[in-house]
Amino acid sequence: MMDYVILSFLVIAIVLAVLALDAEQRMLAIISLEGCTVCVGLLFLYVGALYVGVFHLLIYTGVLTVLFAVSSNYLDKEEMKNE
């Protein structure tokens, strides 16, 4: 049973990572990347690496996703000024 849970986390993370790379819109790519990192963080928690999982969910998923979203919105404003 445990192998199926780990496999499902990995498959979902890979699908979301490919969707993030292939997305046309920036926000869809950011949301897909966030979903991928959440799956990886939950995978760490599931296998028993609690500190790594919590750190991954708080720092990598939370802070970097907000950073990507803010910078994406900043780039949109810069592109509108140039047009």
Domain ranges in the chain are: 2-82
CATH topology of domain 2-82: Four Helix Bundle (Hemerythrin (Met), subunit A) (1.20.120)
The residue-averaged pLDDT of 20-37 equals 90
Query: Which of 26, 16, 41, 22 shows the shortest CA–CA distance to 77?
Result: 26
DSSP label at 66? H
Residue 73 has pLDDT above 90, yes or no: no
Tell me the whole-structure pTM to 2 decimals: 0.80
CA 34 to each of CA 11, 15, 55, 59: distance values in angstroms, whole numbers, following the listed order: 15, 12, 14, 12
Q: How confident is the model at residue 81 (pLDDT cuts 50, 70, 90)?
A: low
Q: What average pLDDT does this structure show over 9-16?
A: 94
Read off the pLDDT of each residue in 26-41 and give the average, rounded to a whole number: 91
